[in-house]
Amino acid sequence: MNSLQDKKSLTVLAIESSCDETACAIVRDGRTVLSNVIATQIEIHRRFGGVVPEIASRNHTLAIENVVREAIKQANVTKDDIDAIAVTYGAGLLGALLVGVNFAKALAYAWDKPLYAVSHVKGHIAGNYIDGTLEPPYLCLLVSGGHTAIVKVEDYEHITLIAQSRDDAVGEAFDKVARVLGLPYPGGPEIQKKAREGKPVFDMPVPKSSGLDDLYFSYSGLKTYVINLVHKLQQKGEELPVCDIAASFQKCAVKQLIDALELVSDATGIKKLAIAGGVSANEELRRAADGLKAKGCEVYYPKLVYCTDNAAMIASAGYYAIMSGAEQADMTLDAKATVPLK
Ligand code: KG4
Ligand code: ZN
């Protein structure tokens, strides 16, 4: 029990800097966003074809103060309206995370506010709560640049891992396939755009699990298949059918996710399903997930702005951590490159 749990209403200021977005948001009661400011570094990293960790940290340092000031201004609040500060402590790029963690510690100290450490993955899951009605328990398909997994969200604080990728994350596969197709970083939205103009004519491999006991995801096979296909076509001097390859890849990547989600839903009898993480912005994935409604499933995904990295989802997860009686962090809080999925 903490004193904040007794309050009628809680306003959380959150900071997120795990990768290439510097973000600050102010959220009331876990679901109402007062402000959500994101300074993206995508243009800076695009010329390198992916995120350069050292450059990401430096740009977080340059951006963070203005981003936090802007979030406070847009929410039209003062420090007295803020009940707690939440910050992403992992998983992510260490140097990038440290900028947000240290800024949050300084703010909590200067303002004398309680500080809460939030896992990035739990933040992505909480993206589904913003402006929404979803409540645990449910199954969540986590799909980002760093994770591909199905977890059972038992309650607001506890998740149980059911299956995960043995190799690449699905977002990573989108990014790598985009790169071999000559599309800019980040690859997911680019593949989606090209796929709209193409047909899924290439029969690409989809790993098959026989049941819940050996359920896993794998994207290295699919990625290698596309790389080999591209090299073969280039050697023959043929023009790359970029749109058809994108459509075929996206279809197979999504099929693997939805087949697994359906399998877990059938095996567990859990019909409340959510999707979270950057790849949950994908229109083909949303369409395929909606298809499960025909089987009596409820399907949830975050609004587009809360799919990719943002701080509103961290504020929401922070709120539910407080309400679940989670321990406060202190000035020894450290960033972690990896955080177990639990
Ligand atoms: O959650 P996120 O912003 O960062 C991580 O926590 O990793 O996810 C980023 C990933 C990238 O791999 C990006 O290509 C992918 O999400 N992504 C998409 C789409 N939008 C972002 N993948 C497929 N379709 C999209 N529309
Ligand atoms: Zn993320």
Cα Rg for the chain, rounded, in angstroms?
Answer: 20
Instruction: Reduce the secondary structure of 38-101 to three states and give it as a string.
Output: EEECHHHHHCCCCCCHHHHHHHHHHHHHHHHHHHHHHHCCCHHHCCEEEEEEECCCHHHHHHHH
Atom of ligand 1 nearest to the CA of 170: 12
The pLDDT, as a whole number, for residue 210 is 81
The pLDDT, as a whole number, for residue 26 is 98
Check pLDDT > 70 for residue 334. yes
Check pLDDT > 90 for residue 5. no
Residue 128 backbone dihedrals phi, psi, to 5 degrees: -70, -20
Q: Find out whether the beta carbon of 253 lies less than 6 Å from any atom of ligand 1.
A: no
87-106: buried (b, 16+ CB within 10 Å) or exposed (e) per residue? bbbbbbbbbbbbbbbbbbbe
Check pLDDT > 80 for residue 342. no
Ligand 1, residues 254, 308, 313, 338: which to mutate, most atoms within 8 A of Cβ?
308
Can you state the angle between helices 187-196 and 283-290, rounded to 10 degrees?
Answer: 70
Check pLDDT > 70 for residue 172. yes
Distance 93 CA to ligand 1 centre (A): 16
Q: Find out whether the beta carbon of 278 lies less than 6 Å from any atom of ligand 1.
A: yes
| Dihedral (Cα; 220, 224, 226, 228), 10-degree rounding | 180
Check pLDDT > 70 for residue 1. no
Ligand 1, residues 121, 122, 174: which to mutate, most atoms within 8 A of Cβ?
174
Check: CB of residue 14 under 8 Å from CB of residue 118: yes
Q: Find out whether the beta carbon of 279 lies less than 6 Å from any atom of ligand 1.
A: yes
Would you call 191 exposed, middle or buried from its count of C-beta atoms within 10 A (0-12, 13-18, 19+)? buried
Atom of ligand 1 nearest to the CA of 178: 14
Instruction: Give residue-wise pLDDT tens across range 197-237.
Output: 999 999 998 888 888 888 999 999 999 999 999 999 999 98
Instruction: Give residue-wise pLDDT tens across range 105-135.
Output: 999 999 999 999 999 999 999 999 999 999 9
- As given in the structure block, the two tokens for residue 80 are 């007295």
Distance 32 CA to ligand 1 centre (A): 24
Minimal CA–CA distance to 103: which of 222, 37, 187, 13? 13
- In percent, how much of the chain has pLDDT > 70? 99
Check: CB of residue 67 under 8 Å from CB of residue 37: yes
Q: What is the pTM of this model?
A: 0.97
Average pLDDT, the chain: 96
Check: CB of residue 263 under 8 Å from CB of residue 212: yes
* Angstrom distance (rounded) from CA 111 to CA 67: 17
